[in-house]
Amino acid sequence: MDLFIGVAVFAVVLWYAFLYTRRHEAPRIPVLPSKSILGHMPAPGVTIYEWLAKASKQYGPVFGIRILFVNMVTVNTAEAMREFFEARSSIYSGRRAPKMAELAGMSEGVLFQQDPHQLRQGRKFLASGLQPSALKAYQHVLHVHVVHFLDRVLRAPTKILTLVPMLPTGIALEIAYGYRLKDEKDPFVQRARKSVNRFIQATAMSLEDGFIVNWMPLLSYLPSFLPGMSFKTTAAEWDVWSKANAAEGFNTVKQDVANGTARPSLLQRALEDQKGTYDEYLLMRTATQVYSGGSDTTTSALKTFVLAMTLYPEAQAKAQAEIDHHMANKGAGRLPNYASDRDDLPYVHALVREVMRWHMPAPMTTRTATEDNVYKGYLVKKGTTLVVNMWSILHDEDVFPDHEVFRPERWLDGTLLAKFDADPLDVAFGFGRRVCPGKYLAIDMLFTAIVSTLTVFDIRKAKDTAGNDIVPKEEYTNRAIVAPLPFPCVVTARSDAAKQLVDNAMSAIA
């Protein structure tokens, strides 16, 4: 009896202590009202990032939402994002993997790394090859892969959208592993694409395209034999497969280093580091993220470029006129590239910016608070997930009244860049300590691929049987990395001289 009374008294004391603490701590960021059991799911046909951007006009740049059993704080303006993720980067640099990605072993490496030491080591490894000064060593790699891409499109112009992924995947594989892909049937490429597609599905922020366990994490603790638990079997299979895939690539490079036959790559340089700077398991898992975290974003941007050129032929014509004039004066007989020609091609540079603004590859990302923090009088508890809505910055109607239109001219006079914090080549790659480590490689690759494609090809609308233009729809997937759904277009070489330019480039790298 005395024990019972003691336990009861102790429980009452704890309860009052909890109430006292709650009464004297700052209020939480308000969560928007919702009558639906699903929480704040947008209506069918409306993406969550569009819905959040619209809601921010009514409720302010920072507010809370709930999707099923997950509460989140959303951040929707550049000012708020820089306050959270740059001014307070030591607090908001965490990134928790979605539950499905965690179960499937995708939280290892650097992308969702929680340990500060491991994160620093992983980012140092990536910076050794992906920072601007280090990228100079890989300029030939970019050139070779772009030339092969142009040659493939010349041979199969109707397959341009299926050929696009080979370009960023091939570059990522060679930079990470020193591996030169052979063709679209290359088994290493097939495994890389499989890895990327699984990552996109595991991290999807929609109930339709993703896994419900991301929004009901408690499901992961239920027995596998119960109905609806098939995701656990899928996660286990993916985990085993991804570990084996990562180990194969890593062990191949390690053996080549030991034999003295390793080709230049990020892994080769790290493994030959005599100081033993890096943990080998971290290297193995991080190397795979060079392509799983980066190649599909560039693939998305390049497909968006093809869609934009199909829908906006006047933008294509202006870019080609600028390229032709510049190359006739400074680059006759060669293909243009980022390193040599970007400063002389302002319209092309503006076009690249507009590609990244119009339909950015990753409209949202997430961060996690690593400790309690007060933001403008509101408490953000440790472990809170913050949804970073970059799409809302690049489609802010106060900055871009015609935000739905693809218009590179908006960037030419520098007014937008000077007046607003809305540079797509900055915003699209994130903020603070978690800024994308492959940013400079992506910009270089994107510019070089676009300017070279415009030099060689015309991209036009397809025709129906009656000879009328088929106008593609702007339809995109709804996952963590978005991309245009397949659409018709016609790709043709601009001239015999353009074909010869590619033939000469192929001969030079043979």
DSSP 81-94: HHIIIIITTTTS-B
Residue in this structure with the two tokens 């239920």, named with its chain if needed: 222
Cα distances (angstroms) measured from residue 433 to each of 91, 94, 343, 429: 10, 9, 29, 11
The reply, when asked if residue 436 is annotated as ligand binding, is yes
CA 300 to centroid of chain Cα atoms: 9
Q: What are the residues whose beta carbons fall under 8 Å from the beta carbon of 407, sequence distance 6 or more? A: 315, 354
3-state secondary structure of 41: coil
Helical ranges in 293-435 per DSSP H: 295-311, 313-330, 338-341, 346-358, 390-394, 415-419, 424-427
CA 444 to centroid of chain Cα atoms: 15
Residue 339's region, left for phi above 0, alpha for psi from -120 to 50, else beta, is alpha
Query: Please, which residues bridge with residue 463 across strands?
Result: 469
Start-to-end C-alpha separation, the chain: 89
Q: What are the residues whose beta carbons fall under 8 Å from the beta carbon of 286, sequence distance 6 or more? A: 109, 110, 122, 125, 126
Query: Containing H/E element for 123?
Result: helix 116-130
Q: How far is the C-alpha of 217 from the C-alpha of 203, rounded, in Å?
A: 13
Do the bridges between strand 70-75 and strand 385-389 make them parallel or antiparallel, or are there none, so unpaired? parallel
Question: Residue 85 half-sphere exposure, CB side, CA atoms within 13 Å?
Answer: 30
**Six-digit token string for 234:** 């899928």
| 163-173 as b/e: b if 16+ CB within 10 A | bbbbbbbbbbb
**Six-digit token string for 293:** 């975290």
Q: How far is the C-alpha of 151 from the C-alpha of 502, rounded, in Å?
A: 6
Contact 386, 369 (CB under 8 A): yes
Q: What are the residues whose beta carbons fall under 8 Å from the beta carbon of 158, sequence distance 6 or more? A: 491
Q: Which residues fall in the annotated binding site?
A: 436
Write out the binding residues for heme: 436
